[in-house]
């Protein structure tokens, strides 16, 4: 018998017991807790996205709070949030940029600017640039972030900088060639990694027998590192003390701060004195030997504008009312920007009287594999500039790309990245200055195989994240926010099929139930199907609506209807307090059904059931437990909404994939007797009941 034809008098599988006397459950306000994220984009995408039709379609989902994501931080680029502004070297249209805080014509678009002193081969945005350390051009160079120089920080902490070279395969190494820029390192160490992988917890950086230098003179240095070659795949130059000099007379302290390297090579010295280089030098991220660095100088030029990394203009975001006039969580640049530019941005927001309750300082520093203490130092230095400008704003971060990020190749700080950020802030007696903690939640890189089993597996992840925050020393009172969530960081079919709805509902219900402060869905705008990672994953995308050829909203997707269920049926939109009630499932032990209940501001009880079985329907009777422990059936009349395969189906046809059926949830009203709910396979069911109406 088809699931859609399951009779209404099918036998009961179990009960769902709602603790009506629960006074200790978490609470939330929908206009603060259930939101959406808008990100940077490629050339032309912002104009395509922010049309009246698309804005109306996006807002119709009912996700009221908005967070603005800063893609420039992922792309190792500086953000010109206002195209108008000033250069530190105005005559040459280059240097350190500060956008103008003066009010003028509304800002419609802004851009990222590539950093020509970059030392990373790859990035997490468009990945279209490359490292200057192995580009084969000695006229270019990598330079570390001058704002991490001891002369600037005065925090009593060591912030050594470093560059890492990863060879294609382990190679014998006994010689290094370092072509220094200015400032150069006076004291440094050349090291090799002993681990089998870059995540090997047993790995250590070991200084070559002759790899310690205490009187570096800059220039083209050739170092005989060992009498006998050491086989290694990962090499590091640990930079400890800088020369404090600049290449030309300069009044800008940043020219003298940090370290600069033009080119680096590792290999073996031949008997004739020649050198066999194990490093491939090329000006392309897919052609050069991979390098990664601790930080990057935000110096750049007018010609470095990246037309393919655009951000929506600040004024355009607020004018769109995508945030419904509510306070928006806004970002500032950090790793690849300057405190002056961040301060100017906040002054602009204040001058415009835009509603901003939270400011996220930086984005995904763990994804850049930098040192937590370096992020912490930059965070506090920027915060000290921002707080006097907007003393009522809450500042936080770091929007980790994962709450489970561990430090990589940093044996000095092994384990959780967040733990070591907390440790640094504690050493500065400034942990309270982390006003909230943000992280991204994309639980599955692999979106092939048994998707429904993955949905059940996901149940424990958010609880594990809360436990990890506690282990890392994040105070229980610090708000914890999912700044982006979705099925995966990679596109695929599961994002456009019913599992996307089940995942969204489960994340919202579970995160709020365990005390999470907010969760922002990623994929706000209309989009097209894609496959980014695994052929077996098929085609789909994170999106509320599919897009027509012009990028305009065409068909609503499961996440759209789920958003409506969350904000208009399970919850009631607005600022009212919703209190979550402890809910238990009895009679069904396979873990495939999740249940979340709440008492709404209108005093009614709302129950949401999520069935992650692909082929098994369940029937439950709703039961209420009083404060005295008395248990009785909950009585109707109850309004119910059911959303599943009867309403939605997806046809995976590569780039032409599309919904073949996309209807709103089915709504019904029960009678006044005990409420029983049939939960079809692959479905969400919401029931809205009278307040505390139980059988006697």
Task: Give tens-digit pLDDT for 15-42.
Answer: 999 999 988 889 999 999 999 999 999 9
β-pairing, 260-269 with 14-19?
Answer: unpaired
CA 623, 626, 627, 628 torsion: positive or negative? negative
Query: How does pLDDT run across 530-587, given as a tens digit for each residue?
Result: 998 899 999 999 999 999 999 999 999 999 999 999 999 999 989 999 999 999 999 9
Query: Which residues on adjacent β-strands are paired with residue 606?
Result: 598, 688
Does pLDDT of 7 surpass 60?
no
pLDDT at residue 2 tops 50: no
79-136 confidence digits (pLDDT tens): 999 999 999 999 999 999 999 999 999 999 999 999 999 999 999 999 999 999 999 9
Q: Residues 341, 97: contact at Cβ < 8 Å?
A: yes
Q: Which CATH class is domain 29-107+302-570?
A: alpha beta
Mean pLDDT of 406-421: 92
C-alpha distances out from residue 316 to 50, 311, 322, 484, Å: 9, 10, 10, 21
Reading the block at residue 164, the tokens are 């890492």
Closest to 221 in 3D by CA, of 173, 264, 191, 282: 264
* Among the four given CATH numbers 3.30.450.20, 3.90.1150.10, 3.40.1160.10, 2.60.120.260, the one describing domain 142-297: 2.60.120.260
Interacting residues of 670 by C-beta distance below 8 A, sequence separation 6+: 636, 637, 638, 639, 640, 676, 687
**What is the chain's Cα-based Rg?**
28
- Contacting residues for 281 by C-beta, under 8 A, at least 6 apart: 134, 135, 136, 263, 265, 288, 289
Which residue stretches of 105-259 are H helix?
Answer: 150-153
- Mean pLDDT calculated for residue range 202-213: 97
- Rounded to the nearest 5°, which phi and psi values hold at 233? -110, -35
* pLDDT average, residue stretch 443-458: 93
Q: Reduced to 3 states, what is the DSSP secondary structure of residue 588?
A: coil
Q: Token pair for residue 269? A: 């010295």
pTM for the predicted model, two decimal places: 0.96
pLDDT at 5 over 50: no
Give the per-residue pLDDT at 9: 64
Return the structure tokens found at 457: 């597996």
Burial label for 506, CB within 10 Å (0-12, 13-18, 19+), is: buried
Residues 6+ apart with CB under 8 A from 154: none
Mean pLDDT, residues 406-432 taken together: 94
Tell me: the pLDDT tens digits for 254-264? 999 999 999 99
Please list the residues that pair with 17 across neighbouring strands. 584, 623
Which pLDDT tens digit goes with each residue over 465-501?
A: 999 999 999 999 999 999 999 999 999 999 999 999 9
List Cα–Cα distances, 259 to 179, 181, 245, 571, 644, in angstroms. Answer: 12, 8, 10, 54, 58
Express each pLDDT in 630-646 by its tens digit: 999 999 999 999 999 99
Spell out the domain ranges in the chain.
3-24+577-689, 29-107+302-570, 142-297
pLDDT(6) > 90 = no
Is the per-residue pLDDT at 4 higher than 50? no
Structure confidence at residue 414 as a pLDDT band (50, 70, 90): confident
> Could you tell me the CA-to-CA distances from 389 to 137, 426, 532, 606 in Å, in that order?
43, 25, 42, 42
Q: What is the mean pLDDT of the chain?
A: 95
**495: which DSSP letter?**
G
So what's the architecture of 3-24+577-689 in CATH?
A: Sandwich (2.60)
Q: Rounded to whole angstroms, how far apart are CA atoms 427 and 525?
A: 42
User: Predicted confidence band at 201 (pLDDT cuts at 50, 70, 90)?
Assistant: confident
pLDDT at 696: 63
3-24+577-689 with 29-107+302-570: one CATH topology?
no
What is the pLDDT at residue 572? 94
- Residues of the chain above pLDDT 90, percent: 92
Backbone angles phi, psi at 460, to 5 degrees: -80, -10
pLDDT given for residue 199 in this prediction? 87
- Dig out the tokens for 37 from the structure: 């994220």
Q: Which of 613, 645, 612 is nearest to 503 (CA)?
A: 612
Nearest C-alpha neighbor of 298 from the set 81, 124, 142: 142
Q: What whole-number percentage of the chain has pLDDT above 70?
A: 98
Asked if pLDDT for residue 253 goes beyond 60, the answer is yes
Helix (H) or strand (E) holding 480: strand 480-485
User: Angle at which helices 417-427 and 372-386 pack, to 10 degrees?
Assistant: 50
- The answer on pLDDT for 411 being more than 90 is no
């Amino acid at each position: 018998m088809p699931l859609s034809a399951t009779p209404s008098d099918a036998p009961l599988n179990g009960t769902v017991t709602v603790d009506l006397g629960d006074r200790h459950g978490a609470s939330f306000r929908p206009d603060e807790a259930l939101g959406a994220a808008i990100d940077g984009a490629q050339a032309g995408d912002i104009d395509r996205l922010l049309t009246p039709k698309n804005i109306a379609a996006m807002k119709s989902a009912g996700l009221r709070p908005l967070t603005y994501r800063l893609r420039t931080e992922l792309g190792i680029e500086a953000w010109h949030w206002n195209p108008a502004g000033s250069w530190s070297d105005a005559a040459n249209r280059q240097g350190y940029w500060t956008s103008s805080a003066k009010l003028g014509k509304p800002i419609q678009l802004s851009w990222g600017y590539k950093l020509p002193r970059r030392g990373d081969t790859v990035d997490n945005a468009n990945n279209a640039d490359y490292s200057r350390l192995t580009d084969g051009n000695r006229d270019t160079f990598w330079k570390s972030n001058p704002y991490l120089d001891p002369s600037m920080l005065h925090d009593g902490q060591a912030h050594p900088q470093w560059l890492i070279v990863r060879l294609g395969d382990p190679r014998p190494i006994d010689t290094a060639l370092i072509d220094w820029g200015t400032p150069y390192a006076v004291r440094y160490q050349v090291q090799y990694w002993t681990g089998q992988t870059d995540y090997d917890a047993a790995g250590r950086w070991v200084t070559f027998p002759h790899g310690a230098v205490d009187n570096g003179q800059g220039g083209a240095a050739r170092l005989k590192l060992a009498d006998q070659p050491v086989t290694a795949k990962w090499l590091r130059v640990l930079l400890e003390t800088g020369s404090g000099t600049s290449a030309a007379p300069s009044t800008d302290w940043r020219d003298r701060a940090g370290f600069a390297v033009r080119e680096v090579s590792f290999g073996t010295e031949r008997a004739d004195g020649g050198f066999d280089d194990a490093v491939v030098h090329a000006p392309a991220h897919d052609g050069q030997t991979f390098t990664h660095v601790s930080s990057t100088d935000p110096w750049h030029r007018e010609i470095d504008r990246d037309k393919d990394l655009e951000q929506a203009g600040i004024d355009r975001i607020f004018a769109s009312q995508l945030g419904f006039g509510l306070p928006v969580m806004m970002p500032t640049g950090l790793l690849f920007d300057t405190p002056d530019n961040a301060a100017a941005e906040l002054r602009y927001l204040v001058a415009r009287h835009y509603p901003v309750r939270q400011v996220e300082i930086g984005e995904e520093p763990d994804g850049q594999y930098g040192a937590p203490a370096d992020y912490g130092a930059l965070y506090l230095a920027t915060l000290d500039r921002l707080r006097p400008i907007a003393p009522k704003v809450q500042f936080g971060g770091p929007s980790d790309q994962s709450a489970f990020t561990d430090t990589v190749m940093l044996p000095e700080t092994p384990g959780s990245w967040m733990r070591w950020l907390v440790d640094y802030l504690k050493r500065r007696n400034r942990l309270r200055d982390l006003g909230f903690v943000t992280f991204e939640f994309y639980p599955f890189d692999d979106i092939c195989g048994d998707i429904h089993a993955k949905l059940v597996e996901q149940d424990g992840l958010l609880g594990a994240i809360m436990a990890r925050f506690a282990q890392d020393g994040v105070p229980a009172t610090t708000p914890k926010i999912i700044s982006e969530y979705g099925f995966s960081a990679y596109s695929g079919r599961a994002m456009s099929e019913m599992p996307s709805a089940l995942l969204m509902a489960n994340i919202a219900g579970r995160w709020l139930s365990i005390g999470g402060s907010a969760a922002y869905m990623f994929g706000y705008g209309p989009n097209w199907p894609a496959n980014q990672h695994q052929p077996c994953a098929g085609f789909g995308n994170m999106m509320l609506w599919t897009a027509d050829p012009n990028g305009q909203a065409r068909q609503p997707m499961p996440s759209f209807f789920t958003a409506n269920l969350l904000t208009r049926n399970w919850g009631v939109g607005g600022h009212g307090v919703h209190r979550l009630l402890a809910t238990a499932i009895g009679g069904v032990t396979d873990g495939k059904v999740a249940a979340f209940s709440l008492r709404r501001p209108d005093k009614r009880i709302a129950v949401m059931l999520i069935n992650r079985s692909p082929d098994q329907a369940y029937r439950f009777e709703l039961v209420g437990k009083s404060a005295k422990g008395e248990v009785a059936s909950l009585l109707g009349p109850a309004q119910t909404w059911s959303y599943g395969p009867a309403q939605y189906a997806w046809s995976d046809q590569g780039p032409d994939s599309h919904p073949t059926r996309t209807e709103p949830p089915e709504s019904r009203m029960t009678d006044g007797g005990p409420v029983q709910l049939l939960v079809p396979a692959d479905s969400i069911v919401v029931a809205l009941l009278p307040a505390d109406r139980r059988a006697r």
